[in-house]
Amino acid sequence: MAHKFIDIEYLLQGNPKQKMAYDVIKKLKVMEILKKHGPILAGTIPIDIDIDSSDLDIICEVHHPEEFIHRLNSEFGDLLNFSLETLWIDGKITVLCSFVADGLTLEIFGQPTKSMDQNAYRHMVVENRILEILGNTAKEEIRGLKREGYKTEPAFGVYLNIVENPYEFLLSMYDWDYNQFLEYLKDRRVSI
H helices within 52-175, ranges in order?
Answer: 65-76, 119-134, 136-147, 152-159, 166-172
What span, in angstroms and rounded, lies between the C-alpha atoms of 124 and 170?
Answer: 9
192 is a domain residue: no
> Mean pLDDT of residues grouped by 10 in the chain (192 residues)?
83 94 97 97 96 95 97 97 94 96 96 96 96 94 96 96 94 95 80 43
What is the tally of structural domains in the chain? 2
Residue 133 covered by a domain: yes
For β-strands 56-61 and 80-89, DSSP reports them as unpaired
Examine the domain organization and report whether 14 and 109 are in the same domain: yes
Domain housing 80? 2-115
What's the pLDDT at 2? 57
Please name the residues in contact with 91: beta carbons below 8 A apart, sequence gap of 6 or more.
none
Residue 191 located in a structural domain: no
